[in-house]
Amino acid sequence: MATSYQQFCPVAKAMELLDERWTLLVVRELVMGSEHFNEVRRGVPRMSPTLLSKRLHQLVRAGVVDRRPDGRYLLSAAGRELRPVVEALGLWGTRWIGELGDADLDPRLLMWDMHRSVVADAVPQGRTVVRFRFPDAPTGSRDWWLVISADGTDVCDIDPGHEVALTVTGRLRALTEVWRGDRTWQDAVGAGELVVSGPADLRRSLPDWFTLSTFARVPRPVAAGR
Amino acid sequence: MATSYQQFCPVAKAMELLDERWTLLVVRELVMGSEHFNEVRRGVPRMSPTLLSKRLHQLVRAGVVDRRPDGRYLLSAAGRELRPVVEALGLWGTRWIGELGDADLDPRLLMWDMHRSVVADAVPQGRTVVRFRFPDAPTGSRDWWLVISADGTDVCDIDPGHEVALTVTGRLRALTEVWRGDRTWQDAVGAGELVVSGPADLRRSLPDWFTLSTFARVPRPVAAGR
DNA sequence: CAGTATCCCTTATGATACTG
DNA sequence: CAGTATCATAAGGGATACTG
């Protein structure tokens, strides 16, 4: 457990819980709606299960999370009120931490995020498969499929075998930037960094199939004087 | 420096900088208006100067703080936008981390905070001295004086020798709770936990002499169902 | 006043393997 | 699926003394 700051300031008391590594990312996952251990885990893939377990228990002890008998982890009233904290951090990070290192790019995580943001109504009826190709990604994570249907969306890293409606090809960084809202689909496609292939009508509507990241629409800082 | 989370999520990128121990408390001090090293330091007395120095440099490197040639540390545009983060955390901490351990009580820090919140217009003209007595505090930090004048307010832990206008006596915890807004002056005085002695008119106006903590007026959670 | 220099030591955490 | 167990390493950070 974190050492106490020995301060009565509420910011310090809050940070005693929240400033430990990974804690706020776990909260972020719960705020995003994950409830099961392995569901949370997909959102923090670099975190060891031991540590995730520890963090979840800390959050339960702190009264931020309730663990249900069925194994679900649900935010308590206190936990739900952490949403503004997560939002403030995401907003700030979006505006002021623009540069992503290569190590920050993760196709599995990107697919996992995107699958959560599919707008069912914008996608054609029935089953629609979107293939993503990242020629620059490591072997084994170059090809991905999102299988979108009325039941929801599945992420596959092996060919599910269904007919592919659209294929998006480009550098992982380009799609990540679009997802984050650093640039638009139009921009990335126009610059030739993302190539969408498939029927024209689908190609045109593709940008509407995803709501993109929660923070994509945050206004970026304008170049300003002091 | 903190290890990367290897995530493109803006919350993760923000926390790479902000989740290290003490960092956000240093930001809090800068947001509160401290500019000089030793001024910040008074707000984080349990932090070693080495570590404070390190954190300030990290914040400078991250573009959150500008170090001026005259030695001042000023928030940059990015740094000023951390205010909402600090506020969200303070608000949450106020609502959900109510219990203070004895170790969280610190008379010097309390006096330092209170001296910043003096409402000059509410205090009588000229020099006004308020004495605070904490019989339960360790020897050497039982008696404090706030010397309030047009020039500002000084904190003394040894008798400055001036005439004392009011004396506030009580447990450190009681005054800390009033400062945080967990209870009112009226409540603490009514319960006999704080005793104010001095001229009646001054005693009556004392609650107006301080604005109290930034978070004192945050509404506390009402007992609620799930 | 405004920091640096050391030094030790806890402990957080990453990695990996394993279990009910 | 939902975690625990174990382990070794790095390093974060506390304490204290010292300097320009």
Partner A contacted by B165 (CB < 8 A): no
Q: Which residues of chain A form CATH 1.10.10.10? A: 10-96
Mean pLDDT of A119-148: 95
Q: What is the pLDDT of residues B101-112, one digit of tens each?
A: 999 999 999 999
Which nucleotides of chain D does any protein CB come within 7 A of? 1-6, 12-17
Sequence-distant (6+) residues with CB within 8 A of A65 are: A30, A56, A59, A73, A74, A75, A76, A79
Q: Please say whether the beta carbons of A119 and A210 come within 8 A.
A: yes
Burial of A25 (0-12, 13-18, 19+ CB in 10 A): buried
A106: which chain B residues are within 8 Å (Cβ-Cβ)?
Answer: 6-8
Q: Please say whether the beta carbons of B143 and B73 come within 8 A.
A: no
Q: What is the pLDDT of residues B179-205, one digit of tens each?
A: 999 999 999 999 999 999 999 999 999
Q: How confident is the model at residue B1 (pLDDT cuts 50, 70, 90)?
A: low
Partner A contacted by B7 (CB < 8 A): yes
Q: How confident is the model at residue A226 (pLDDT cuts 50, 70, 90)?
A: very low
Which nucleotides of chain C does any protein CB come within 7 A of? 1-6, 12-17
The predicted structure's pLDDT at residue A224: 60
The predicted structure's pLDDT at residue A31: 97
Q: How confident is the model at residue A222 (pLDDT cuts 50, 70, 90)?
A: confident
Q: Please say whether the beta carbons of A132 and A146 come within 8 A.
A: yes
A224: which chain B residues are within 8 Å (Cβ-Cβ)?
Answer: 77
Q: Please say whether the beta carbons of A148 and A123 come within 8 A.
A: yes
The predicted structure's pLDDT at residue B140: 85
Top-level class of domain A10-96:
mainly alpha
**Side chain identity at A105, as an amino acid letter?**
L
B57 pLDDT higher than 50: yes
Partner B contacted by A219 (CB < 8 A): no
Q: What is the pLDDT of residues A44-58, one digit of tens each?
A: 999 999 999 999 999
B101: which chain A residues are within 8 Å (Cβ-Cβ)?
Answer: 4
The predicted structure's pLDDT at residue B139: 86
Mean pLDDT of B36-64: 94
Quote the minimal CA–CA distance from A97 to chain B in Å: 7
Mean pLDDT of A83-112: 96
CB proximity under 8 Å: B 108-137 to A: 109-110, 113
| Cα distance between residue B122 and residue B125, in whole Å | 9
Report the residue from A78, A90, A213 with minimal CB separation from B96. Answer: A78
Mean pLDDT of A157-171: 96
Q: What is the pLDDT of residues A9-34, one digit of tens each?
A: 999 999 999 999 999 999 999 999 99
Q: Which residues of chain B form CATH 3.30.1050.10? A: 102-209
| Cα distance between residue B115 and residue B146, in whole Å | 7
Q: What is the mean pLDDT of chain A?
A: 95
The predicted structure's pLDDT at residue A98: 86
B226 pLDDT higher than 80: no
Q: What is the mean pLDDT of chain B?
A: 95
Quote the minimal CA–CA distance from A219 to chain B in Å: 13
Give A61's DSSP letter. H
Confidence (pTM): 0.95
Mean pLDDT of B4-16: 96
Partner B contacted by A19 (CB < 8 A): yes
Residue A15's Cβ-side half-sphere holds a number of Cα atoms within 13 Å equal to 27
| Strand B166-170 relative to strand B128-133, pairing | parallel
Which strands, in side-by-side order, build the sheet including B194-197?
B152-156, B143-149, B128-133, B166-170, B194-197
Sequence-distant (6+) residues with CB within 8 A of B95 are: A78, A81, B218, B219, B220, B221
Out of A189-193, B151-155, B170-174, least confident range: B151-155
Q: What is the pLDDT of residues A28-41, one digit of tens each?
A: 999 999 999 999 99
Report the residue from A11, A215, A221 with minimal CB separation from B24. Answer: A11
Partner B contacted by A223 (CB < 8 A): no
Partner A contacted by B100 (CB < 8 A): yes
Structural tokens at position A45: 């893939």
Apex A151 CA angle, A146 and A154, nearest 5: 25
B50 pLDDT higher than 80: yes
Q: Which of A4, A13, A117, A213 to mutate to test the interface with B (most CBs of B within 10 A)?
A: A13
Closest-approach nucleotide to residue A56, Cα vs C1': D3
Contact B11 A17 (CB under 8 A): no
B87: which chain A residues are within 8 Å (Cβ-Cβ)?
Answer: 88
CATH T-level topology, domain A102-209: Nonspecific Lipid-transfer Protein; Chain A (3.30.1050)
The predicted structure's pLDDT at residue B222: 87
Closest-approach nucleotide to residue B56, Cα vs C1': C3
Structural tokens at position A138: 């490591």
| Cα distance between residue A4 and residue A21, in whole Å | 15
Mean pLDDT of A176-193: 98
B225 pLDDT higher than 60: no
The predicted structure's pLDDT at residue A3: 83
Closest-approach nucleotide to residue B48, Cα vs C1': D14
Q: How confident is the model at residue B224 (pLDDT cuts 50, 70, 90)?
A: low
